[in-house]
Amino acid sequence: MKYYMPTLIIEEDQVVINNQDIFGLYGKNPLIVTGKQSAILSGALSDVLKVLSIKGISYKLFDKVEENPSVETIESGAKQGIGCDYVIGIGGGSPIDAAKAISLLLANDITDSQTILFNNHKNEALPVIAIPTTGGTGTEVTPYAILTDHSLGTKRNFKAKIFPKYALMDVKYFMTMPKEIRNNTCVDALTHLVESYMNVNTNKYSDYIAIEGIRLWGSVKESLQEGELSEKDMKVFMNASTMAGIVIAQTGTSLPHGMGYALTYNEGIAHGRANGLLMKAYLSMCKDTNRVDRIMKALYFSDLEAFGGYIEKLLGRLNISNKVILKYSKDMMENENKLKNHPDKVVLKDIISIYSDSREIKN
């Protein structure tokens, strides 16, 4: 059995201010990568700038990362970062994934982004420090970066495996998430835990961590539904999200994530919501019902119906036509990377059923 997790996770109040030396470890000229607002709103950017100023470290800022970052954005970020020696990613999954991809381009030939990102690269990426503000993707502890590739009309993982050197976790950065973003991102973490637990690549460590992450998630699920999250509750979601990242770094994700990309790219449905909408129908078709039962138990749900009701109340249901479902399902059948992680044989009809059964119920 093997388990590789090289990211040093530090979780504490005032984590950036208390760990200033980390910002001097990799050079004197970082590129800070953020989205448009979240790094400012969460207070994380101002903490980082304070520390860089105390340490006399100059920096460059790329603050233009959109949700589901495109290859074009990665190229612009890399141009902005020429000459930098390491990268600090602050935000949700989008800016941190962008930070990883930019760090790879900066260490290689930034004029050949398609090759470097998706085929092969010569040099190791620049070091990345991740400071998350959603809980979430777990990208602070995964080697993945999910990019929007308009040339293929979809989202896809880059080829490299880049674990951040540090994941600096402070729950205060999560407290400014509006309710909808919070619902979507917290459900994303749950889908990671579930897709890891129902995966061909599990081993005993990933199983223990996944089921404990699911239990943690279940212990605060009511507060998410009620829409009132204390810092204590948010911390539990934050921990479950990082645990989810730790296990998908080992196992990968499977059907809901593969199927969700089409919903995000074509229907504009946020990443976490896209996966969450498919979760109940997906679990209903998993053949290992013992594992499904264990998930329900860990979440403190009586059965899958109760789980489905909870998710529906939180996220609503899917609204797409049969024609569109057929197209997305055929595309999914080409996604060998995700199909191979699912333990059962999957045929087109199964994928169609997951999409169809996740739709609004019309009387």
Task: Return residues touching ligand NAP (CB under 6 A).
Answer: 35-38, 41-42, 67-68, 91-95, 97, 133-134, 136-139, 142, 144-146, 155, 173-174, 176-177, 181, 185, 188, 271-272
| Number of CB atoms found within 10 A of residue 201's CB | 15
Which lies closer to Zn ion via its Cβ, residue 7 or residue 68?
A: 68
66 and 35 in contact (C-beta within 8 Å)?
yes
Which lies closer to ligand NAP via its Cβ, residue 144 or residue 304?
A: 144
What stretch of H or E contains 323?
Answer: helix 322-332
Which lies closer to ligand NAP via its Cβ, residue 209 or residue 352?
A: 209
- Minimum CB separation of residue 48 from Zn ion in Å reads 25
Give the neighbor-by-neighbor strand order of the sheet with 166-169: 8-11, 166-169, 128-132, 86-91, 30-34, 60-62
Q: What is the identity of the amino acid at 342? A: H
Q: Considering the rule CB under 5 A, would residue 195 count as an interface residue with Zn ion?
A: no
Which lies closer to Zn ion via its Cβ, residue 160 or residue 274?
A: 274
- Segments of the chain assigned E as strands: 8-11, 30-34, 60-62, 86-91, 128-132, 146-149, 154-157, 166-169
- Minimum CB separation of residue 180 from ligand NAP in Å reads 9
Q: What is d(CA 197, CA 47) in angstroms, rounded to the nearest whole number?
A: 36
Query: Residue count at the site for Zn ion (CB under 5 A)?
Result: 1
Which lies closer to ligand NAP via its Cβ, residue 156 or residue 294?
A: 156
DSSP per-residue codes, 91-119: ESHHHHHHHHHHHHHHHS-TT-HHHHHHT
- Minimum CB separation of residue 285 from ligand NAP in Å reads 22
Q: Could you tell me which stretch among 76-84, 185-193, 293-301, 335-343 binds Zn ion (CB under 5 A)?
A: 185-193
Pairing mode of beta strands 60-62, 86-91: unpaired
Which lies closer to Zn ion via its Cβ, residue 47 or residue 188?
A: 188
- Minimum CB separation of residue 1 from Zn ion in Å reads 25
Which lies closer to ligand NAP via its Cβ, residue 90 or residue 304?
A: 90
- Minimum CB separation of residue 148 from ligand NAP in Å reads 8
Which lies closer to ligand NAP via its Cβ, residue 274 or residue 296?
A: 274
- Minimum CB separation of residue 131 from ligand NAP in Å reads 11
Token pair belonging to 76: 């612009």
Which lies closer to ligand NAP via its Cβ, residue 16 or residue 296?
A: 16
Q: Could you tell me which stretch among 41-49, 186-194, 226-234, 333-341 binds Zn ion (CB under 5 A)?
A: 186-194
Positive or negative: CA dihedral 115, 120, 124, 127:
positive
Q: What is d(CA 318, CA 312) in angstroms, rounded to the nearest whole number?
A: 10
Which residues are within 8 A (CB) of 36 and not within 5 positions of it... i.e. 6 or more apart? 63, 64, 65, 66
- Minimum CB separation of residue 96 from ligand NAP in Å reads 7
Tell me if residue 256 falls in helix, strand or coil.
helix
Token pair belonging to 94: 């989008």
φ/ψ (deg, to 5) at 136: 155, -155
Residue corresponding to tokens 């929007």: 148
- What pairs with residue 9 in β-bridges? 167
Among residues 188, 195, 233, 350, which is the contact residue for Zn ion, using CB under 5 A? 188
What stretch of H or E contains 20?
Answer: none
- Minimum CB separation of residue 248 from ligand NAP in Å reads 6
Choose among Zn ion, ligand NAP, none what residue 97 binds, the Cβ cut-off being 5 to 8 Å by kind.
ligand NAP
CA 362, distance to chain mean position in Å, is: 32
Choose among Zn ion, ligand NAP, none what residue 195 binds, the Cβ cut-off being 5 to 8 Å by kind.
none
Choose among Zn ion, ligand NAP, none what residue 181 binds, the Cβ cut-off being 5 to 8 Å by kind.
ligand NAP
- Minimum CB separation of residue 41 from ligand NAP in Å reads 5
For binding to Zn ion (CB under 5 A), which residues are involved? 188
